[in-house]
């Protein structure tokens, strides 16, 4: 039987998702992107909230060996985030903008999902690697293409 989470566990999972979303948002904000601190924090927190609701409902409705599947909430999050990410992508003058923002929204959602399920090690690994990509690759691109030339 699935047990209900304590208030401390609920708060810690949600707060960690919020902080991780803020971490990604900070990078996007410093680069003056539309989806920054608030967007990434809310995406991550919202994803954690949906997962936590699924976990809590599964615990509350577990009766006589019949259980709800809290993993199904992931499919709902994935669909919603895909829609949100698509809205961040803009095509103008033959160029596409916003792909990194859309990908960042996707990762913020996955951080929320991981935190909601209490998969803290996974969440920290994802956050670390995401920040390496967002910060490290940007720094490397500046050194490889110092004049702003993005290459072919």
Strands (E), the chain: 90-92, 95-97
Q: How far is CA 56 from CA 26, 122, 124, in A?
A: 31, 21, 23
> Quick check: helix, strand or coil at residue 43?
helix
Give pLDDT tens digits for 42-53: 999 999 998 898
pLDDT score of 37 more than 60: yes
Give pLDDT tens digits for 52-101: 988 888 777 766 666 677 778 888 888 888 888 888 888 777 787 888 88
The residue assigned the tokens 């539309």 is: 34
pLDDT of residue 76: 86
pLDDT of residue 98: 87
d(CA 36, CA 26): 6
Give pLDDT tens digits for 125-140: 999 999 998 988 777 7
CA 147 to chain centre: 32
């Amino acid at each position: 039987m699935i047990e209900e989470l304590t208030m401390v566990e609920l708060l810690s999972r949600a707060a960690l998702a919020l902080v991780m979303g803020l971490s990604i948002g900070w990078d996007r904000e410093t680069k003056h992107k539309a989806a920054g601190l608030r967007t990434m924090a809310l995406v991550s927190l919202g994803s954690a909230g949906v997962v936590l609701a699924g976990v809590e409902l599964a615990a509350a409705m577990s009766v006589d060996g019949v259980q709800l599947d809290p993993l199904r909430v992931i499919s709902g999050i994935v669909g919603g985030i895909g829609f949100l990410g698509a809205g961040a992508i803009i095509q103008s003058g033959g160029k596409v903008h916003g792909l990194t923002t859309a990908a960042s929204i996707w990762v913020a959602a996955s951080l929320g999902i991981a935190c909601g399920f209490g998969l803290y090690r996974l969440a920290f690994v994802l956050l670390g690697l995401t920040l390496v990509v967002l910060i490290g690759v940007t720094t490397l691109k500046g050194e490889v293409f110092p004049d702003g030339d993005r290459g072919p």
